[in-house]
């Protein structure tokens, strides 16, 4: 049964910022075209820039792809948008916001249901919730009050704990929605369905049958215009601590009792609690960091990371991380997990690869060209979303030659099914009060606790190398040494292309 979306006002702080234009407004428009928005909805943009409602609508329109056939639709959508200039960092101005919300609510007959989206720099994560609370805008007596925040949720364990403490001074945990847009990806959610709805996978999803698990999140882009932010962050904070850890949670968790926010989030937390800590002394051997250097990709000369704008010329910030770790529990005892992520790699691909153990006896060993079959299940998160299973098959003809073949499913085969974008899906969930796909505070802290010794070791011990890798390659060569038996999979854009033919 479809859940109901109650009438509400969505307040976007930082409405003149990049995220609002690039992600939020297009996601809301997408929900509008799918008729998923409540009829009674106001989206109130808030930021310092002086703008009228009409001016805000005009500005936001530029970011919607306008084709002649949808002009009317866009106009109808824009009518939901309103704007309030406000110095968000100045708590004395919040009464203005409060009275604007009251007026809007009266005009549009919307009850006091408010969602606050903090699409602002993180230094405002303290003052905005506090200022809202000071004028009673956190009070859920006459309608829900929910707060959505974007990462970074702190920059280390200590600041993450402080942030959570501060948020919880003004809002209860069940009013807090911490966005991790990876959880909004349809293919990430499908990992739960693959695992828990198929009788053939779950029984073998453990150390008895799985040899190792590999997670790759590769990007072709560099830091683009985000050098200033990224140079203080690096791949560990930017990707591993949040998105990749959440993927680990989804692959490794125990079946939840029900598909509900707390049931699922409890299981993810348990995975994080079972991670075998990597001590500062082990960092050099378990975690490899790299930074892209100038190189030629085709005919183009591509900048190295240190030449990017906003980046320190001597920067030791990692744009690549590969690591090996273990989950110490019954299911995963002894199974190595490998994670790899980086910028300026040859392909934009995110996928999870389950490598199964070989058969106990290689009956066809002496005739095979390639050794025993390495069964793999590839869960492709993006692009060419789908699933691929590699199995051995007899090559027709005399004898018993075995070849590995692919069985693959691609989401685009479901041509008439609408695949929501991550932001669209997550916004709708929050509107319906469903926090399942949002990160919970305790899990965020646990993930920080896990990566903190790695960050400490890198900061304190300059002996730990940061390897250069030419832009456009799969990272430093030493990464191969992490995987003791076997190699990384080198994925292509197309899920089923590998080996001889690879389009990047
Ligand atoms: C963001 C990171 O959270 O995720 C970016 O800050 C990264 O650096 C992005 O590029 C990757 O997201 P996606 O959806 O393109 O894989």
The answer to whether residues 493 and 348 touch, using CB atoms and an 8 Å cutoff, is yes
- What pLDDT, on the 0 to 100 scale, is given for residue 367? 43
Pocket test for ligand 1, best of 150, 181, 246, 350 (most atoms within 8 A of CB): 181
For residue 32, is it left (φ>0), alpha (ψ between -120 and 50) or beta? alpha
For ligand 1, whether the C-beta of 429 sits within 6 Å is no
The answer to whether residues 66 and 33 touch, using CB atoms and an 8 Å cutoff, is no
Atom of ligand 1 minimally distant from the CA of 350: 16
Which of 18-22, 284-288, 391-395, 496-500 has the largest mean confidence? 284-288
Q: Alpha-carbon distance 331 to 329, whole Å?
A: 6
139: Cα separation from own chain's centroid: 30
Q: What would the mean pLDDT of 8-23 be, rounded to a whole number?
A: 93
- What pLDDT, on the 0 to 100 scale, is given for residue 500? 61
Peptide linkage before 383 cis (omega within 30 of 0): yes
pLDDT beyond 50 at 406: yes
- Determine whether 243 is an active site residue: yes
Q: Alpha-carbon distance 228 to 250, whole Å?
A: 32
Q: What would the mean pLDDT of 380-401 be, rounded to a whole number?
A: 90
The answer to whether residues 386 and 493 touch, using CB atoms and an 8 Å cutoff, is no
Structure tokens at 350: 């995110």
Report CA torsion sign: 152, 158, 161, 166.
negative
Mean pLDDT across the chain: 93
- Taking CA atoms only, the protein residue closest to ligand 1 atom 6 is 238
For ligand 1, whether the C-beta of 30 sits within 6 Å is no
Task: Name the active-site residue from 80, 181, 243, 355.
Answer: 243
- Model confidence band, residue 495 (pLDDT cutoffs 50, 70, 90): confident
Whole-angstrom Cα Rg for the chain? 24
Percent of the chain with pLDDT over 70: 96
For ligand 1, whether the C-beta of 219 sits within 6 Å is yes
For tokens 């996978």, name the residue. Answer: 201
The answer to whether residues 156 and 441 touch, using CB atoms and an 8 Å cutoff, is no
Q: Alpha-carbon distance 358 to 228, whole Å?
A: 47
Peptide linkage before 211 cis (omega within 30 of 0): no
Residue-level length of the chain:
504
Q: What are 234-286's pLDDT values in tens digits?
A: 999 999 999 999 999 999 999 999 988 999 999 999 999 999 999 999 999 99
- What pLDDT, on the 0 to 100 scale, is given for residue 64? 86
- Taking CA atoms only, the protein residue closest to ligand 1 atom 10 is 219
Q: What are 39-56's pLDDT values in tens digits?
A: 999 999 999 999 999 999
**SS in 3 state form for 226-242?**
CHHHHCCCHHHHHHHHH
Atom of ligand 1 minimally distant from the CA of 151: 3
Percent of the chain with pLDDT over 90: 80
- What pLDDT, on the 0 to 100 scale, is given for residue 421? 87
For ligand 1, whether the C-beta of 6 sits within 6 Å is no
pLDDT beyond 60 at 1: no
For ligand 1, whether the C-beta of 156 sits within 6 Å is no
Q: What would the mean pLDDT of 21-41 be, rounded to a whole number?
A: 93
Residues with Cβ within 8 Å of residue 239, at least 6 apart in sequence: 217, 321, 341
The answer to whether residues 471 and 302 touch, using CB atoms and an 8 Å cutoff, is yes
pTM: 0.93
**How is 371-438 classified by DSSP, letter by letter?**
SS---EEEEEEESS-EEEEEEEEEPSSSS--EEEEEEEEEGGGSTTS----HHHHHHHHHHTT--TTS
Q: What would the mean pLDDT of 321-340 be, rounded to a whole number?
A: 97
């Amino acid at each position: 049964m479809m859940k109901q979306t109650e009438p509400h006002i969505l307040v976007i702080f930082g409405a003149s910022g990049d995220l609002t234009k690039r992600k939020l407004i297009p996601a809301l428009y997408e929900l509008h075209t799918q008729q998923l928005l409540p009829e009674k909805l106001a989206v109130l943009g808030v930021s310092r820039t002086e703008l009228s409602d009409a001016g805000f609508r005009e500005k936001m329109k530029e970011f919607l792809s306008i084709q002649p056939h949808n002009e009317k639709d866009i106009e109808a959508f824009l009518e939901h948008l309103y704007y309030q200039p406000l110095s968000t960092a100045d708590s004395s101005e919040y009464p203005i916001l409060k009275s604007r919300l009251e007026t809007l609510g009266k005009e549009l007959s919307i009850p006091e249901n408010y969602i606050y989206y903090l699409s602002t720099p993180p230094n405002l994560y303290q003052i905005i919730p506090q200022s809202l609370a000071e004028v009673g805008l956190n009070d859920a007596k006459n309608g829900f009050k929910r707060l959505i925040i974007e990462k970074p949720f702190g920059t280390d364990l200590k600041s993450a704990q402080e942030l959570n403490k501060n948020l919880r001074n003004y809002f209860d945990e069940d009013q807090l929605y911490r966005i991790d847009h990876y959880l909004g990806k349809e293919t990430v959610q499908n990992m739960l369905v693959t695992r828990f709805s198929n009788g053939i996978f779950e029984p073998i999803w453990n150390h008895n049958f799985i040899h190792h698990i590999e997670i790759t999140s590769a990007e072709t882009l560099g830091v683009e215009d985000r050098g200033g932010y990224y140079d203080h962050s690096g791949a560990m904070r930017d990707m591993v601590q949040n998105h990749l850890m959440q993927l680990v949670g989804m692959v490794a968790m125990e079946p939840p009792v029900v598909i509900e926010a707390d049931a699922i989030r409890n299981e993810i937390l348990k995975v994080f609690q079972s991670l075998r800590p990597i001590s500062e002394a082990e960092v050099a051997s378990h975690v490899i960091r790299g930074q892209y250097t100038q190189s030629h990709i085709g005919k183009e000369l591509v900048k190295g990371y240190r030449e990017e704008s906003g980046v320190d010329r001597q920067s030791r910030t990692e744009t690549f991380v590969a690591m090996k770790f273990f989950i110490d529990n019954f299911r995963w005892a002894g199974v190595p997990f490998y994670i790899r992520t980086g910028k300026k790699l040859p392909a934009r691909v995110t996928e999870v690869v389950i490598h199964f153990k070989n058969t106990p006896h290689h009956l066809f060993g002496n005739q095979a060209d390639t050794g025993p079959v390495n069964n793999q299940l590839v869960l492709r998160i993006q692009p060419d979303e789908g699933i691929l299973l590699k199995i051995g098959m007899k090559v027709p003809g005399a004898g018993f030659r075995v070849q590995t073949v692919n069985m693959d499913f691609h989401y685009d085969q479901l041509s008439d099914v609408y695949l929501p974008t991550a932001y669209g899906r997550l916004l709708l969930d929050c509107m319906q009060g469903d926090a399942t796909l949002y990160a919970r505070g305790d899990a965020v802290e646990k993930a920080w606790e896990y990566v903190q010794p790695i960050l400490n070791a890198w900061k304190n011990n300059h002996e730990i190398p940061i390897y250069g890798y030419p832009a456009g390659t799969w990272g430093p060569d030493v990464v191969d040494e992490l995987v003791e038996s076997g190699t990384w999979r080198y994925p292509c854009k197309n899920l089923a292309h590998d080996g001889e033919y690879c389009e990047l």
